[in-house]
């Protein structure tokens, strides 16, 4: 089976109740890039990458499409059954741009699953569970608002609440953390995520002002070195998210011993197979982590669930998809939905979702 066609689509995903606000960005919608692979046997595989705007990380939507256009002509005719060889082929065509390569990797795994009649989670080693715990991220807000939201979500069944912080007076963030803790207590695991939004001194101030509140501090500062500087000076466990741009970053962070867990974005790292490698590296050091992605529709969400299901339960902190913020499912029947703070793993072959192609309009580019 060989790749015979590659089609690239774009879909704008409006954010329900938007804008969504984080320390450095405010977004009303997400620009998603969707990849459709077609094999010479007529099978179709779907991939997707949807950077969280152009500022969250170095990845951006136009960059994803440009990178795919750069690689696509040379991928026609390549084996559709060899994801490792395809990754090496992509690396030979373009340096970096893991996020664009991820969309092709996901599409290929969807196609291989359909070819063998297996789910992607089975191709990745087998599912530990059919029901995955989700976490809820609050966005930036005022103390009473965020506390009320957190209580509602815990009542719904979420067991991990991520409080967004940063980009404003630290005193307000400190008040938010106290209010959420008073309201939720030990009913949920709390995480405070600044999305690179604090200086080292601000992060230390927040942590020390909340020293009696159990939470994990996610990406408190912009760089690995800044985080290394506050490690040892604050009482809270540290999770690193945005600074894991590659396997090399991940190994460097682990060797520095500066965190207690990771927030892992699948497309940032290069797709499902890269995430499987990271999963195994984390297992070797008993490092807990999430499985998530930036944003996106059902394709990204299904892929996140499939890799998340293969993680040892003791190490899987939670999964996250942007589905609750997106109005429509690509697959109206099997689309990914959160229920009681949990996701159900799709049951069909490949990713287990069948996108309604008409939603994507005409292809921006096609290669064959």
Alpha-carbon distance 166 to 96, whole Å? 29
* Per-position DSSP letters for 90-116, written without gaps between them: HHHH-SS-HHHHHHHHHHHHHHHHHHH
Of 39 and 138, the one with the shorter C-beta distance to Mg ion is 138
Does the footprint of Mg ion cover residue 48 (CB under 5 A)? no
CB atoms within 10 A of CB 66: 13
**Binding residues with Mg ion: total (CB under 5 A):** 4
* Per-position DSSP letters for 205-252, written without gaps between them: HHHHHTTTS-EEEES-BSSHHHHHHHTTTSSS-EEE-TT--SHHHHHH
337 carries an active-site annotation: no
Of 296 and 355, the one with the shorter C-beta distance to Mg ion is 296
Does the footprint of Mg ion cover residue 292 (CB under 5 A)? no
101 carries an active-site annotation: no
- Nearest residue to Mg ion, scored by beta-carbon proximity: 241
Minimum gap (Å) between residue 140 Cβ and Mg ion: 13
Burial 85-94 (b: 16+ CB within 10 A, else e): ebbebbeebe
Does the footprint of Mg ion cover residue 220 (CB under 5 A)? no
Minimum gap (Å) between residue 241 Cβ and Mg ion: 4
* Interface region with Mg ion, contact rule CB under 5 A, candidates 30-38, 96-104, 122-130, 233-241: 233-241
Of 11, 101, 164, 179, which residue is the catalytic one?
164
Q: Residue 70: enclosing H or E segment and its boundaries?
A: helix 61-75
Alpha-carbon distance 74 to 93, whole Å? 8
Of 11, 153, 179, 265, which residue is the catalytic one?
265
What does R_g of the chain's alpha carbons equal in angstroms?
20
Does the footprint of Mg ion cover residue 331 (CB under 5 A)? no
Q: Are 180 and 145 in contact (CB under 8 A)?
A: no
Does the footprint of Mg ion cover residue 143 (CB under 5 A)? no
Minimum gap (Å) between residue 109 Cβ and Mg ion: 24
Does the footprint of Mg ion cover residue 263 (CB under 5 A)? yes
Does the footprint of Mg ion cover residue 193 (CB under 5 A)? yes
Does the footprint of Mg ion cover residue 317 (CB under 5 A)? no
Minimum gap (Å) between residue 240 Cβ and Mg ion: 9
Q: Among all residues, which ones are annotated catalytic?
A: 164, 265
Residues that bind Mg ion (CB under 5 A): 193, 218, 241, 263
């Amino acid at each position: 089976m060989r790749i015979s066609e590659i089609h690239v689509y774009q879909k704008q995903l409006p954010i329900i109740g938007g804008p969504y606000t984080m320390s450095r960005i405010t977004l009303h919608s997400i620009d998603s890039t969707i990849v459709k692979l077609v094999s010479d046997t007529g099978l179709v595989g779907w991939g997707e990458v949807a950077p969280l705007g152009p500022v969250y990380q170095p990845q951006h939507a136009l960059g994803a499409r440009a990178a795919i256009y750069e690689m696509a002509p040379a991928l026609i005719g390549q084996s559709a059954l060899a994801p490792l060889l395809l990754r090496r082929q992509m690396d030979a065509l373009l340096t970096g741009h893991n996020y664009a390569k991820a969309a092709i990797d996901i599409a290929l795994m969807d196609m291989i699953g359909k070819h063998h009649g297996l789910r992607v989670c089975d191709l990745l080693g087998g599912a530990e569970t059919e029901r995955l715990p989700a976490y809820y991220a609050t966005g930036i807000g005022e103390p009473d608002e965020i506390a009320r939201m957190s209580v509602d979500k815990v009542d719904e069944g979420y067991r991990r609440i991520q409080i967004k912080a940063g980009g404003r007076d630290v005193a307000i963030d400190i008040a938010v953390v106290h209010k959420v803790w008073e309201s939720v207590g030990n009913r949920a695991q709390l995480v405070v995520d600044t999305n690179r939004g604090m200086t080292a001194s601000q992060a230390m101030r927040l942590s020390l002002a909340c020293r009696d509140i159990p939470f994990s501090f996610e990406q408190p500062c912009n760089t690995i070195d800044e985080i290394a500087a506050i490690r040892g000076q604050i009482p809270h466990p540290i999770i690193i998210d945005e600074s894991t741009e590659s396997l090399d970053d991940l190994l460097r962070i682990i060797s520095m011993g500066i965190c207690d867990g990771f927030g892992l974005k699948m497309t940032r790292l290069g797709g499902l197979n890269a995430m499987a490698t990271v999963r195994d590296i984390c297992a070797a050091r008993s490092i807990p982590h999430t499985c998530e992605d930036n944003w996106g529709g059902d394709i990204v969400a299904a892929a996140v669930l499939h890799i998340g299901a293969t993680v040892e339960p003791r190490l899987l902190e939670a999964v996250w998809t942007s589905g609750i913020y997106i109005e429509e499912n690509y697959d109206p029947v099997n689309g990914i939905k959160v229920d009681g703070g949990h996701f159900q793993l799709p049951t069909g072959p490949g990713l287990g979702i069948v996108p309604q192609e008409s939603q994507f309009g005409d292809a921006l580019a096609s290669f064959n």
